[in-house]
Amino acid sequence: MRKPVYLDYHATTPVDPRVLEAMLPFFGERFGNAASRSHGFGWEAEKAVDLARRRVAELAGAAPREIVFTSGATESDNLAIKGVMEAYRSKGSHLVTMATEHRAVLDPVRRLQQSGTEASILAPGRDGLLDLDLLRAAIRPDTVLVSVMAANNEIGVIQPFREIGAICRETGVLFHCDAAQAFGKIAVDVNEDNIDLMSLSAHKMYGPKGVGALYVRRRNPRVLLPAQMDGGGHEFGMRSGTLNVPGIVGFGEACAICAREMEREADRVRALRDRLKARLESALDGTAVNGSMEHRLPGNLNMSFAGVDAEALLLSLPGVALSTGSACSSASVEPSHVLRALGIGEQSARSSVRFGLGRFNTEDEVDDAACQVIEAVRKLRALAPA
């Protein structure tokens, strides 16, 4: 049996062997609690956490004390959005976000709406990008927060987050950016990009699952953020709970690797993505790329195949790991909310597949996957009614 080709790097990434090697001692002989300040076991764990915090901060252009470790980007999104709206209630109760955000942003926003928060949920253009004039028009005197992701998890479109940050800074509104898909793949600098809060996830960048971080700005402006989980005052009082030391160590190592290799890796993965796109388009009629190709993550390709049901296509491809959209919404029978927000019709949305390429893919794998997809699409079209 040939090895399956993994092209679902937006759902999760394999742990880099170098990351695993860094983590392993902290499951065994270096098992201390980083909050144990009275003996060497705790000091050793605390030292490892401090190093990881510096590594995450360096990749983000932040200060170490601005990094709050969490269980992942979903928790970070909740802490940022709910925390800010609670802390700045005296200023206003309005926030702005996009219809193409991850559910980890949209669901907390809906929860806040149930308790009186007003939300302007902006639609993107057909290319998936936010119209900056639309954003300016949506910001009101009582707007507290703008939450726009750096790069979309389904269509890979990179938002103009630096320009969004500048608009927020001009208008005195806080800017939260879910950078789970972008961090470690493209350059993000919280100061140059005027980001006040930023959600991160280790398992999207070759680190372990179950650990992430929230960047919280401490200067110009200092962001006030009450904890959403209490119980000991860990992480500068913003996120209580015993730290996941092995996971945090792995997150830090993953960031250190990305800092060294990100630019070179992006070029290689982009070339693989373009190779895949060219092979599919040259062999198949009725294909269309969803979202901007110019402003897109290097490893993302979201493509529709006219006349083909995407779920049926995936079932006919046991040798290729793909998805129809967000892994967090894969049980849904509804077409992708991201594609529908772009104005894509239901039939096209249901024929769309997400290809996610990454660090360990090879040219041979891309060619193999392309051949399998082409063959499967042709068979399904032949079986479809005229």
List the catalytic residues: 328
* DSSP codes joined into one string, 328-369: GGTT--SPPHHHHHTT--HHHHTTEEEEE--TT--HHHHHHH
- Distance (Å, whole) CA 218 – CA 195: 11
State how far the Cα of 167 lies from the Cα of 137, in Å rounded to an integer. 11
271 three-class SS: helix
Q: Element (H or E) spanning 77, and its range?
A: helix 73-87
Backbone angles phi, psi at 312, to 5 degrees: -65, -40
- Residue 381 CA to residue 290 CA, distance in Å, equals 20
DSSP for 118-161, please give it.
EEEEEPP-TTSPPPHHHHHHH--TTEEEEE--SB-TTT-BBP-H
Place of tokens 């062997």: 17
How far lies 220's CA from each of 93, 180, 190, 230, in Å? 22, 24, 12, 27
Strands 118-122 and 94-98: parallel
What would the two tokens of residue 137 be?
A: 């028009």
- Cα separation, 119 vs 165, in Å, equals 18
